Chains A and B, each alone.
Chain A
């Protein structure tokens, strides 16, 4: 997780908390550049290595939208990447075919990842936003018997 979740610019400010500059400083033609410097092919650069500009929503956070949050349990996870493919908020962090965790700056707490997680017990579960992740992990349910 280190160096992936801890990149400098992730979620540095709440949406709407940006500096309100005057007419002389807004961009010409209302354009927004995604990066501060030239990039070769973004598709080949990992997010943690990109020169995100302050205009990129990557630098903002929507964490305050959440009332419940997904908690991830590495011990049960089989790295199937279901959660990755269906997360609507680019908030499942996967690198080298491994699920690493949740981007809590961008996760809105929809719960889709939990629904699509196939393990038993699930490797992702929703908890109250205020709940401590360690405590949540401590209460993780046991494997459920198949009902039939």
Chain B
């Protein structure tokens, strides 16, 4: 039996440490991983737990991220709890296997410390890796700080392993800003945490020799479509379980999570939609603008990036006049992905707010409170004018001449 770890009521942890503690407390059976900045400390910390008797499971240091995720798939098909961590290039190397994990309906938990994707090489945070995974069939949950990285990693096991879901789950946190910034974190005790996550329930396990099972069969044009559709439905409907798990977690800890987080949206006239640590920056900017400039600003943040909270977005933005959607990944030849989701959600409502897109923070470029304020002010100008006064897509915080695309066609 693994030793218990005595934790204080409040610990000072960074996002990486918080995630590794959650993996330890969930008593993962197999962690197969490969180190990469900035998520390396997750597997290093876990390695220290292994070395000191705090872990009963197996710890497999693979020869690459592709090998790590492949071992995770084999391990998960063998009927136990599996988790790993990665970032950026490692995520890209895993990408092939991410699709295979979800296609086989294996509830692996992947803690992703978001980082830019090369070229050019960059180790800092942006959402390029998170976006690359958006069609991979995983539940994608976003943590905005270390406490959330801990809480949501525990929730991830419970969501993915639920018999109505059986899908892999990513828990995202921003590289460095969350992963390497120590904050106060209120952990559960080992017993409470494990009791919350619960025992793993094997489904179609390869180690049940009384029911030999084949994983990874080929399907061509006569079967592939049906399987993909079935998988999509499972992901679409996983919101029910996500809500249920968040509710249970609130009961246990008092900390409430929602698939769509909303801040000051009750009377908001303008809003920012964003992910990650930017959410806290935007909240701070909104508070100041309300106080100093009388702008009724609010913030909307999808906690669950997949499944995407369309209905909640529609309600949250129903009375907003102008919305800025912030994408921290270079869309390369299109509008940002988050922007497109928001427009998709709002296009079918009578509200029809003015929606523009801001690209920002690539490769760890700082996004300051003042940047957020400027974006709010532009929304205010749109709201007052009743039309979009800027281009549809603008680059925020970029050196050089202003870079922007697409004129608005309604005024």
**Chain A interface residues (CB < 8 Å from chain B):** 20-24, 26, 28-35, 38-42, 55
**Chain B interface residues (CB < 8 Å from chain A):** 103-106, 166, 203-204, 209-217, 219, 222-223, 225-227, 229-230, 233-234
What residues of chain B lie closer than 8 Å to A42, measured between beta carbons?
212
Contacts A22-B226, A26-B230 given; does A31 touch B204 at CB 8 Å: yes
CA distance A40 to B214 in the complex (A): 17
CA distance A107 to B104 in the complex (A): 32
A34 adjacent to B230 (CB under 8 Å): no
Q: Choose from B104, B203, B230 the contact partner of A24 (Cβ within 8 Å).
A: B230
CB distance from A72 to the nearest CB of B (A): 31
A29 adjacent to B106 (CB under 8 Å): yes
Q: Other than A29-B103, A29-B215, A30-B215, give 9 A-B pairs with Cβ distance below 8 A.
A: A23-B227, A28-B166, A28-B203, A29-B166, A30-B104, A30-B227, A31-B214, A35-B212, A41-B209
What residues of chain A lie closer than 8 Å to B105, measured between beta carbons?
28-29
Jot down 23 A-B pairs with beta carbons below 8 A, ordered by A: A23-B225, A23-B229, A26-B227, A28-B203, A28-B234, A29-B103, A29-B104, A29-B105, A30-B103, A30-B215, A30-B227, A31-B104, A31-B213, A32-B213, A32-B214, A32-B217, A33-B204, A33-B212, A34-B213, A35-B211, A39-B211, A39-B212, A55-B214
What residues of chain A lie closer than 8 Å to B209, measured between beta carbons?
41
What residues of chain A lie closer than 8 Å to B210, measured between beta carbons?
38-40
CB distance from B172 to the nearest CB of A (A): 24
B211 adjacent to A38 (CB under 8 Å): yes
What residues of chain B lie closer than 8 Å to A33, measured between beta carbons?
204, 211-214
CA distance A41 to B211 in the complex (A): 10
B222 adjacent to A20 (CB under 8 Å): yes
What residues of chain A lie closer than 8 Å to B216, measured between beta carbons?
30
The listed residue with most A CB atoms (<10 A of its CB), out of B209, B216, B217, B230, is B230
CB distance from A28 to the nearest CB of B (A): 5
Q: Closest residue of chain B to A22, judged by CB?
A: B226
What residues of chain B lie closer than 8 Å to A35, measured between beta carbons?
211-212
CB distance from A58 to the nearest CB of B (A): 13
A23 adjacent to B213 (CB under 8 Å): no
What residues of chain A lie closer than 8 Å to B223, measured between beta carbons?
26
CA distance A45 to B223 in the complex (A): 32
CA distance A40 to B186 in the complex (A): 48
What residues of chain B lie closer than 8 Å to A28, measured between beta carbons?
105, 166, 203-204, 230, 234
CB distance from A32 to the nearest CB of B (A): 4
CB distance from B33 to the nearest CB of A (A): 23
What residues of chain B lie closer than 8 Å to A31, measured between beta carbons?
104, 204, 213-215, 217
The 9 closest A-B CB pairs, nearest first, are A29-B105, A38-B210, A23-B226, A32-B214, A23-B229, A34-B212, A29-B104, A23-B230, A31-B204
Q: Choose from A20, A24, A26, A29 the contact partner of B204 (Cβ within 8 Å).
A: A29
CB distance from B78 to the nearest CB of A (A): 13
CA distance A33 to B204 in the complex (A): 8
A30 adjacent to B219 (CB under 8 Å): yes
What residues of chain B lie closer than 8 Å to A21, measured between beta carbons?
226
Q: Closest residue of chain B to A26, judged by CB?
A: B226
CA distance A39 to B208 in the complex (A): 10
CA distance A1 to B217 in the complex (A): 33
CA distance A38 to B234 in the complex (A): 27
CA distance A24 to B234 in the complex (A): 11
Q: Closest residue of chain A to B106, judged by CB?
A: A29
A34 adjacent to B229 (CB under 8 Å): no
CB distance from A33 to the nearest CB of B (A): 6
Q: Closest residue of chain B to A21, judged by CB?
A: B226
CB distance from A29 to the nearest CB of B (A): 3
What residues of chain A lie closer than 8 Å to B217, measured between beta carbons?
30-32
CA distance A124 to B212 in the complex (A): 35
What residues of chain A lie closer than 8 Å to B211, measured between beta carbons?
33, 35, 38-39
CA distance A34 to B105 in the complex (A): 19
What residues of chain A lie closer than 8 Å to B166, measured between beta carbons?
28-29
CA distance A38 to B173 in the complex (A): 44
CB distance from B257 to the nearest CB of A (A): 27
CA distance A32 to B234 in the complex (A): 19
CA distance A45 to B259 in the complex (A): 51
Q: Closest residue of chain B to A41, judged by CB?
A: B209
What residues of chain B lie closer than 8 Å to A29, measured between beta carbons?
103-106, 166, 204, 215
What residues of chain B lie closer than 8 Å to A22, measured between beta carbons?
226
CA distance A26 to B227 in the complex (A): 7
Q: Closest residue of chain B to A29, judged by CB?
A: B105
CB distance from B230 to the nearest CB of A (A): 5
CA distance A30 to B218 in the complex (A): 9
What residues of chain A lie closer than 8 Å to B227, measured between beta carbons?
23, 26, 30
What residues of chain A lie closer than 8 Å to B219, measured between beta carbons?
30
CA distance A42 to B212 in the complex (A): 9
What residues of chain A lie closer than 8 Å to B234, measured between beta carbons?
28
CB distance from B101 to the nearest CB of A (A): 10
